[in-house]
């Protein structure tokens, strides 16, 4: 499989946002979502003095990226880990703080492009959807074993699917005849169970259900909720965290963590705000930045991207 078809989203903007933190001697940057290594390779090239630590839960991604980043030798350390394991990874490597952390959340290009992984609703494949295929339950197991009420909750919470009850009723009826194993059957079932009006909006009608299943299988939102605060804690003063997210649920978590860090925590009415109540972060974006029209025209996967960044401006004070 070739690496050249993978186009990193908002690459230049990510590099520029991290630059003030990574142009320092001995800087360490963590790419929490290595994927095919596009962002990582660009970081190593742009910041020749920096050391990279890159995480991914997908062993195939680590293998392919390892080949891609081999020319950089010991400057790149690749680790098989989920990004919410960031504190443990840094501890094992003896790194008390780092200078930059980059997240490119969601499903990687490699996982979308490899048909047998079951992430893409546009092609028939086994309903797997695990980013790390060595552990956890598959999307098929979720569909075939979860209680109807739990499936409705997942589709509403993680897919923001208004037709969740209707879709789940059809799934439960069909799984009693034969368990689900492949994506095409699920796509067809969703298409048949939705009212005409719902099918006319928002692209493929299976999109939201597939997103919900993927988030459930990989516990993505749980990981994001742990990982973003961990990244903020890991950077030293002047360090920066930059996050690309692709759906509103992830972006909301990032927004809330950054906003909390950029706010004063002082009780109201204090004439002078003590140091321990001062903001720890400075926001680097006004709201979320979006990709340019030109980038979306060149790379359709950039379309839903939302970019946020924050800089550490003081240490935690107990």
> Can you say which residues are annotated as belonging to the binding site for S-adenosyl-L-methionine?
37-39, 56, 83, 104, 111
Query: Which is nearest to 209 in space by CA: 278, 118, 134?
Result: 118
How far apart are alpha carbons 131 and 10 in whole angstroms?
Answer: 23
Other C-beta atoms closer than 10 Å to the C-beta of 318 total 4
Query: Which is nearest to 32 in space by CA: 5, 2, 52, 9?
Result: 52
- Residue list, annotated binding site: 37-39, 56, 83, 104, 111
How far apart are alpha carbons 160 and 231 in whole angstroms?
Answer: 27
Residue with tokens 């950039």: 302
How far apart are alpha carbons 31 and 317 in whole angstroms?
Answer: 27
Q: Which DSSP helix (H) or strand (E) runs through 305?
A: none
Query: What's the token pair of residue 295?
Result: 């980038």
Query: What's the token pair of residue 235?
Result: 């950077």
Query: What's the token pair of residue 125?
Result: 């494949």
Percent of residues in the chain assigned helix, strand, coil, to nearest 5: 50, 15, 35
């Amino acid at each position: 499989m070739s690496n050249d078809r993978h186009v990193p989203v908002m690459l230049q903007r990510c590099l520029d946002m991290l630059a003030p933190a990574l142009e320092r001697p001995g800087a360490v940057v963590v790419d929490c979502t290595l994927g095919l290594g596009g962002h990582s390779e660009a970081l190593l090239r742009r910041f020749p003095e920096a050391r990279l630590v890159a995480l991914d839960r997908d062993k195939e991604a680590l293998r392919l990226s390892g080949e891609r980043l081999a020319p950089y030798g010991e400057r790149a350390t690749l680790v098989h880990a989920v990004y919410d394991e960031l504190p443990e990874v840094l501890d094992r490597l003896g790194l008390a703080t780092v200078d930059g952390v980059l997240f490119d959340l969601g499903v990687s290009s490699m996982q979308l492009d490899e048909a047998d992984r079951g992430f893409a609703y546009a092609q028939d494949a086994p309903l797997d959807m695990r980013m790390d295929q060595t552990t956890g339950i598959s999307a098929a197991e979720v569909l075939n074993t979860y209680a109807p009420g739990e499936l409705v909750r997942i589709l509403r919470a993680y897919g923001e699917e208004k037709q969740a009850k209707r879709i789940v009723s059809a799934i439960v009826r069909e799984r009693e005849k034969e368990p689900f194993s492949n994506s095409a059957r699920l796509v067809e079932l969703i298409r048949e169970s939705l009212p005409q009006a719902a099918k006319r909006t928002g692209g493929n009608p299976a999109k939201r259900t597939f997103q919900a299943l993927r988030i459930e299988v990989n516990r993505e939102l749980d990981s994001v909720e742990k990982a973003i605060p961990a990244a903020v804690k890991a950077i030293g003063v002047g360090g920066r965290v930059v996050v690309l997210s692709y759906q509103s649920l992830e972006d909301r978590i990032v927004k809330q963590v950054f906003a909390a860090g950029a706010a004063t925590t002082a009780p109201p009415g204090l004439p002078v705000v003590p140091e321990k109540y001062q903001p720890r972060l400075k926001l680097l974006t006004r709201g979320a930045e979006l990709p340019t029209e030109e980038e979306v025209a060149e790379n359709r996967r950039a379309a839903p991207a939302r970019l946020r960044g924050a800089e550490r401006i003081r240490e935690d004070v107990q």
